[in-house]
Chains A and B, each alone.
Chain A
Amino acid sequence: MKLKLKVWRQQNSQSEGGFQTYDVDDISPDMSFLEMFDVLNERLINEGGDPIAFDHDCREGICGMCSMYINGRPHGPNRGVTTCQLHMRSFHDGESIVVEPWRASSFPVVKDLVVDRSAFDRIIAAGGFISVNTGNAQDANSIPIGKDIADSSFEAAACIGCGACVAACPNSSAALFTSAKISQLNQLPQGQPERYRRTLDMVHQMDKEGFGGCSNTGACEYECPKEISIENIARMNRDYIKASLCKD
């Protein structure tokens, strides 16, 4: 396969940045999208150029590190797939591909396609936990949890924190990310004692980080590589309203 790549290059967070175009050939349809970048980088190094920086680690779709905006969509054209699991057979020979970093004021560009997503960590640090010190736990089976609740909590917990939701959202809202964690914990019996405090703290932190508000476009759900549902956002809203207006 031959491809024309238009990639965002930016030296560091202060510099301006712009697009550069690369022609790549000899791409096998069995390669992953990142392996195609490996090939390009290898060539750039051999030519004495500067390889393109991009985030990646596990390359099996679970660590949430990879983050490319490919042809106008986070993680590229397929649903339910991260960039590292996107394979070149999803593109056709001779195709032009535009690759950009996640864009949001809360995700500043570090270099090229690498952005800083530490805002997500701070949202979790604000309340995305159950306060139980090591050693305080009771026997695991002493809290029965209905399968439906356990499954629903698990579905929310499948979030990998990649930030595609923010990248896709026309408002750069982190509602899906934040609500997934809130929804995982708030549904479980273990999560009840801190339920409303957690919701308030996490939602306020999300605002403080500068993420936009949710206008229910559903883009996040559609682009989420783990297909997290916006039902979670509704749960967060419900708990936030209750926490703000009803709870002392």
Chain B
Amino acid sequence: MSLDAKIPPGELSKKWSDYKSKVHLVNPANRRSIEVIVVGSGLAGSSAAATLAEMGYKVKVFCFQDSPRRAHSIAAQGGINAAKNYQNDGDSVYRLFYDTVKGGDYRSREANVHRLAEVSGNIIDQCVAQGVPFAREYGGLLSNRSFGGVQVQRTFYAAGQTGQQLLLGAYSALERQIGMGKIKMYSRHEMLDVVTIDGKARGIIARNLITGELERHFGHAVVLCTGGYGNVFYLSTNAMGSNVTAAWKAHKKGAFFGNPCYTQIHPTCIPVSGDHQSKLTLMSESLRNDGRIWVPKKKDDNRPANQIPEDERDYYLERRYPAFGNLVPRDVASRAAKERCDEGYGVGASKMAVYLDFASAIKRYGKIEANKHHLDNPTEAEVITLGKEIIKEKYGNLFDMYKQITGEDPYEVPMRIYPAVHYTMGGLWVDYNLMTTVPGMYALGECNFSDHGANRLGASALMQGLADGYFVIPYTIGDYLSGEIRTPAIPTDHQAFVDAENSVRERIEKLMNVKGKHSVDHFHKKLGKVMWNKCGMARNAQGLKEAIEEVQQIREEFWKDVRIPGSADEFNPELEKAGRLADFLELAELMCIDALDRNESCGGHFREEYQTEEGEALRDDENFAFVSAWEFKGDGNFELHKEPLVYENIKIAQRSYK
């Protein structure tokens, strides 16, 4: 089948408004009898569910956590972008669009990104109206800060808890509809399959995680908002429960998987401290506003950071990228850190870390404060005390968190940081309507592939999740549902539901019956190591080929030797983990296949064979300016479909932050 992205015709800046005025609608009376299933309750899921319910649709929402408020969007720290130009520094919809496409290394779809930039401002309006307490200036107006890869201040924030505040806003809108009886919420439920009838998505099979019961739920449309698959690496900044299962089941039911190899490695995370490590913690990108990244100029320098004199420090980002300095995009910063550590300049016990230093920012702020207080000849100690106050106000909670985890005080010694898996740009392939290749099945937020190309800019994930949920799906879903108004609710004793439930049950039984020797985590850690070493920050053909074999091997071992205690008809977290890992083990192979197929370097996908002499990513626009959309063809077989990327409004160029 050929891929149709259904991009509306016309001039880029008019596409979305034209589309909105012509799209088919469902009249309010009909909406009452149309049911929509939303899976996932993060920014995309909560906002979509709330908005669809406000419009009058009957909505069911599913999440595996104990409350929709726990979704991992909550952990986003730094901020959310919007082209408001409140700072009067030359921002515009076009500039946000341009920065995003360029930041994504020219691997995203122009029309989608432009729409994202267009609605970005509305998101801020909506969130403020909901009572999201964004940071403000004394005059009462909203405050902004800058983020990587851009030269304007367009990031709105709520201290280091922007994701939390935005999610709680969307969650409150969701709860409001639940309270009004328009949404039925299913917490501690995990979607384990999509039900398709005549090629259309018509419902899901969900497992009640408390009782273990399998439930059938009908929907005229199914909206997946289930986040990314970074946990395929075992160690990542994702929540422990974040998983690919819903997206993967959809993939196996016919939804193409777009660009699975595009993973974002975030440059500023707390380094791994030992084998016991269960997850990694991010230190917000906003820290790079004030922190300076460096390593010693000498290899294997074991002196404590504070004893290394200024002229023996290599501020390698400032050296290599003078125009953007410490605020280069994430992929660039991560690779630069890896390069230094691989060369033997790393710091800390493991030598796999670089410094993020606030000493000069403390002094700079201290001097400004001293001036404000009219201290003419402040002592160094006074300056530092004043400076620390400012840093504390800006990043206090992050500094506390760092201290809590590492036991070191970042006000006194530089932070040690290292890149870690953070976000997946790849995901289910969707068209302009956010519909997957299965009619009636949509994918929103990180779960889809659409807006970030090969690399996502900081503070854009929150923007995309909310754009999709609040402002895109409410329009685009009407295009499909307007054709469904004559479809009555399909009873769940339909054969398709019975079959889907049976296959889910069989798989669970198969897992329970392995009765092997090793825990789920044992296999997950193994998988993670292979993926991190061979399909991580840098990849090469040889490694990827090995990785494919190793993943297959681990998968085989897993199905022979995993041990799941307890039974399937009770609350059983090990069984949940096993089901998720089984899907990761299939996805991992596809990620490697895709990475192997893409013979170029772009954004988060860095193939060692394809780099410039200076070690920058070398794109191949002639042969690889397309989206890889993979079709599932039975165990371990995938067929590649290509959606060509056409740039009519942006001149494609080598990405430079120098």
Which residues A99-138 have CB closer than 8 A to chain B? 110-111, 114, 116-118, 120-122, 124-138
B563 touching A45 by the CB < 8 A rule? Answer: yes
Contact A145 B130, CB 8 Å, known A56-B240, A59-B278, A129-B172: no
Q: Which of A152-160, A231-239, A240-248 contacts B (4 or more CB under 8 A)?
A: A152-160
Indicate which residue in A12, A30, A63, A127 contacts B273 across the interface (CB closer than 8 Å): A30
B135 at the interface (CB under 8 A from A): yes
Contact A191 B86, CB 8 Å, known A12-B570, A59-B239, A118-B66: no
CB distance from A23 to the nearest CB of B (A): 17
B276 touching A150 by the CB < 8 A rule? Answer: no
A87 at the interface (CB under 8 A from B): yes
Q: Name the A residues within 8 Å of B404 (CB-CB).
A: 61, 78, 81, 85, 87
B164, closest chain A residue (CB): A62
B239 touching A57 by the CB < 8 A rule? Answer: yes
Interface size class of B (residues with CB under 8 A): 35 or more
A209 at the interface (CB under 8 A from B): no
Q: Which residue, A58, A120, A134, has most C-beta atoms of chain B within 10 A? A: A134
B75 touching A49 by the CB < 8 A rule? Answer: no
CB distance from A25 to the nearest CB of B (A): 13
Contact A63 B407, CB 8 Å, known A124-B171, A141-B86: no
Contact A46 B179, CB 8 Å, known A63-B74, A134-B54, A137-B126: no
A210 at the interface (CB under 8 A from B): no
Q: In the complex, what distance in Å separates the CA atom of A135 from the CA atom of B648?
A: 30
A11, closest chain B residue (CB): B570
Q: Name the B residues within 8 Å of A50 (CB-CB).
A: 565-566
A57, closest chain B residue (CB): B239
Q: Name the B residues within 8 Å of A154 (CB-CB).
A: 133, 135, 158-159, 165
Which residues A26-80 have CB closer than 8 A to chain B? 28, 30-32, 34-35, 38-39, 41-42, 44-46, 48-51, 53, 55-65, 78, 80
Q: In the complex, what distance in Å separates the CA atom of A58 from the CA atom of B71?
A: 9
Chain A: residues with Cβ within 8 Å of the partner, total of: 82
B404, closest chain A residue (CB): A85
A16 at the interface (CB under 8 A from B): no
B139, closest chain A residue (CB): A144
A87 touching B140 by the CB < 8 A rule? Answer: no
Contact A125 B519, CB 8 Å, known A58-B239, A60-B282: no
B128 touching A137 by the CB < 8 A rule? Answer: yes
A62 touching B74 by the CB < 8 A rule? Answer: yes
B168, closest chain A residue (CB): A157
Q: In the complex, what distance in Å separates the CA atom of A39 from the CA atom of B521?
A: 10
Q: In the complex, what distance in Å separates the CA atom of A50 from the CA atom of B575?
A: 12
CB distance from B373 to the nearest CB of A (A): 19
B67 at the interface (CB under 8 A from A): yes
A190 at the interface (CB under 8 A from B): yes
A92 at the interface (CB under 8 A from B): no
* CB pairs A–B below 8 angstroms (20 shown): A28-B273, A35-B276, A39-B276, A44-B565, A45-B563, A49-B565, A58-B239, A59-B240, A60-B281, A62-B74, A63-B72, A114-B571, A124-B175, A125-B179, A133-B54, A136-B129, A150-B140, A154-B158, A157-B158, A191-B131
